[in-house]
Structures are given as C-alpha cells and as structure tokens.
C-alpha cells in the first residue's frame, strides 16, 4: 500500500482544540512485558498478537509499535478494514485476517497490501485459488463451530491447492479445566498429518496457560497482552496496561430528598456534595458498571450515584471534599478485577471503550 493512501487516513490535527476531559493511558512498558512473558510461556513457540478491534480498544497506533519492538512478528485482525491501521507499523505479510475472503475485492485487497487471509471454508479456498492464490493461513474447526473447515474436508482437492503458512484452530474452553482442550489439540495434530503447512497454531491467551503442549509453533494471545488473566497460571506474569481518568465538570450541593440522574434512582437522605464527571456509556462505562461501583481519587472511594448517562456520571464527594471542577478522577478499569465488572467480561470491558477515549 502506498504512502499517499496511508496519509489520507491520518487525522488532521487541530491546533485550537483544547485538551480532552478524558484520559486513556496505555502503559507501554507493561504491554511489552506482557508480550515477552507470554512469548516465554509459549516455550519453543513464538507468540503473535491479536490486535483486532483496535487492539481490544486500547489503540492500534499505541500498541502495535510496542508489540513490534518487543519482538512480535505475527499480528491478527478480524476485518479487512483493520489492515491499514496495522500495516502503518508492520509489514503486510505479518498481518493475518481471521475472517478470510468473501469476494474478489477481498482477494485483490489482500494482494495489494500483502495481508494474509485465513481461509475458513472450501468456498473461500476455491475463491482464493481462482483469483491467483498465494500464501494463506487455514482455520480448521475442532469443536467451537464458528469458522473453519470441517476435519472431514481436510483431504478436499481445494485445500490441496493452497499455499498454507499457518494451520490453526481455536480452543473453545481454554479458560476451563476440560477434556475438550486435549481433544482439540489432538484433532489439530490429525489435521496437520493431512494438510501441508509450515506452522501450527492453537493457543490463545488462556491456551498459553494450559502449557507448552498447546503452544505448537505459534501462540495467539489477545486479552492477556492488555492486562487480562484468563487462567490462574498467568496471574503472576501479567501486568495491568490500561489506566483511565476523567475530569470533574461541576460540583454541587444537594439536599435531603433530592434525586440524582435519570429517573432519580438515587435519593439523598442528607446534605451531600456531589460531582459530575466527564465519562458515560458512550465512552464504554456502561450502566451495568454503575450500581455499587465507584471512582477514586488518591486512594479515596467516590461512590457512583444514580444511573450512568451517555456522557456523565455523578459521584459522592464526601471522601474528597476539596475537589473542584477540572480535577481528575481515576476510573476503575482493571480488567483482572472481577469485582468491578458488574456482569461484563474482561473482553467487553476493553472492546467497549468508546471512540472519545481512544482518541485521547
């Protein structure tokens, strides 16, 4: 892809734009350390990196250069629309597109950028070959029943025409102790006996925690890179990566009997000093995370009052009475802390991060 195309995608800076009232800080040292730890835990295999969904919400431009410089050489996205952002930092041939090719336009774009499709069906295999072929990866379904050819299709002539680099499958329950994990590993080995390939890959973040028997040649960590701990074996190796802060917009006094927010789901039973904070569900702080949760300032807990709005939440300032508009509060976003998730998975806590935070 030529430089002029990439330049068209760059945002135009506005010299008059004031600083945002939100902050998303990515600890680049922690991110690099997490990749290095996962690479080491992969044994003789190399660790790649799942960078789909804008690096799980933390930003391709922030994260991919860190992962590249740490030593990562294989990057996974889901959609073709994600390729350009990644190849601004790495070679196209290092990028794998998990959804494969559905049209001749997909195939043409793959060849123009150098990105490598993951073939998921006999139809995709036929399309890729008919439009010119070239290096590809192949997904074999071993039990998750999402994408991938069936094991019974491994000997199909359309598969034999492919130039396969990575032969891969995906664990369905790597975060659990189940015989299905071993079964899937064995089924991938069976497929490898039939299908010519250069590398084998099965383990995601949780799969790395299962041990070297699941690592094969390449592992594909995602969540753990960004601070998630999907298995206890990883707990001592993974560091938090994301830190989110939001500014106080206004502070006010409310009297007994007054409500806060939509539908007045919180009613004050005493005089209170409260603060309105510049973050809401449009930024990924969803309503389900409001009830019983709190923001923090220098270790002090500031409980959330009422419903989370699109752009604002209200907190109790009793523990921090000196705070004023413009002060910064810490927003809980430790994805390894189940207590703050309120029904969300760690994956959701990252990938729902809103556009305004990603732009910070």
Domain spanning 242-358: CATH superfamily: Lyase, Ornithine Decarboxylase; Chain A, domain 1 (2.40.37.10)
**What distance in Å separates the CA atoms of residue 208 and residue 204, rounded to the nearest whole number?**
6
Tens-binned pLDDT, residue by residue, of the chain (360 aa): 444 444 444 556 788 889 999 999 999 999 999 999 999 999 999 999 999 999 999 999 999 999 999 999 999 999 999 999 999 999 999 999 999 999 999 999 999 999 999 999 999 999 999 999 999 999 999 999 999 999 999 999 999 999 999 999 999 999 999 999 999 999 999 999 999 999 999 999 999 999 999 999 999 999 999 999 999 999 999 999 999 999 999 999 999 999 999 999 999 999 999 999 999 999 999 998 887 899 999 999 999 999 999 999 999 999 999 999 999 999 999 888 765 667 788 899 999 999 899 877
What topology is assigned to 28-234 in CATH? TIM Barrel (3.20.20)
Cβ-based neighbours of 158, under 8 Å, separated by 6 or more: 122, 125, 126, 129
The residues annotated with a catalytic role in the active site are: 52, 262
Are 117 and 106 within 8 A, CB to CB?
yes
pTM score: 0.91
Instruction: Measure Cα distances from 171 to 15, 16, 190, 224 in Å.
Output: 48, 49, 15, 15
Residue ranges of the domains in the chain?
A: 28-234, 242-358
Any idea of the CA torsion for 207, 209, 212, 215, to the nearest 10 degrees?
A: 30
């Amino acid at each position: 892809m030529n430089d002029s195309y990439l330049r068209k995608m760059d945002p135009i800076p506005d010299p008059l734009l004031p600083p945002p009232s939100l902050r998303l800080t990515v600890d680049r040292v922690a991110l690099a350390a997490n990749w290095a730890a996962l690479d080491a835990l992969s044994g003789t295999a190399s660790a790649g990196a799942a960078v789909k969904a804008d690096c799980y919400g933390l930003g391709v431009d922030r994260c991919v250069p860190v992962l590249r410089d740490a030593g990562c050489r294989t990057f996974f996205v889901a959609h073709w629309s994600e390729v350009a952002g990644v190849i601004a930092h790495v070679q196209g041939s290092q990028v794998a597109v998990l959804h494969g090719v559905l049209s001749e336009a997909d195939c043409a774009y793959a060849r123009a950028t150098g990105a490598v499709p993951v073939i998921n069906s006999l139809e995709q295999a036929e399309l890729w070959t008919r439009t010119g072929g070239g290096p590809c990866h192949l997904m074999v379904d071993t039990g998750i029943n999402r994408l991938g050819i069936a094991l019974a299709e491994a000997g199909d002539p359309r598969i034999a025409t492919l130039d396969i680099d990575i032969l891969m499958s995906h664990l369905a329950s790597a975060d659990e102790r189940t015989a299905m994990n071993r079964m899937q590993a064995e089924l991938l080995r069976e497929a490898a006996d039939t299908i010519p390939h250069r590398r084998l890959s099965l383990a995601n973040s949780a799969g790395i925690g299962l041990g070297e028997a699941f690592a094969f040649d390449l592992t594909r960590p995602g969540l753990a890179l960004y601070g998630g701990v999907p298995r206890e074996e990883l707990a001592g190796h993974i560091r938090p990566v994301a830190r989110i802060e939001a500014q106080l917009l206004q502070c006010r006094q409310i009297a007994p009997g007054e409500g806060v927010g939509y539908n007045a789901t919180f009613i004050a039973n005493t005089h209170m000093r409260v603060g309105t904070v510049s973050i809401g569900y449009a930024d990924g702080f969803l309503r389900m995370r409001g009830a019983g949760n709190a923001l923090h300032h220098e270790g002090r807990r500031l409980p959330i009052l009422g419903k989370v709005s699109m752009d604002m939440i209200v907190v109790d300032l009793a523990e921090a009475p000196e705070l004023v508009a413009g002060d910064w509060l810490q927003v809980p976003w430790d994805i390894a802390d189940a207590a703050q998730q309120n029904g969300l998975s760690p994956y959701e806590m990252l990938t729902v991060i809103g556009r305004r935070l990603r732009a910070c």
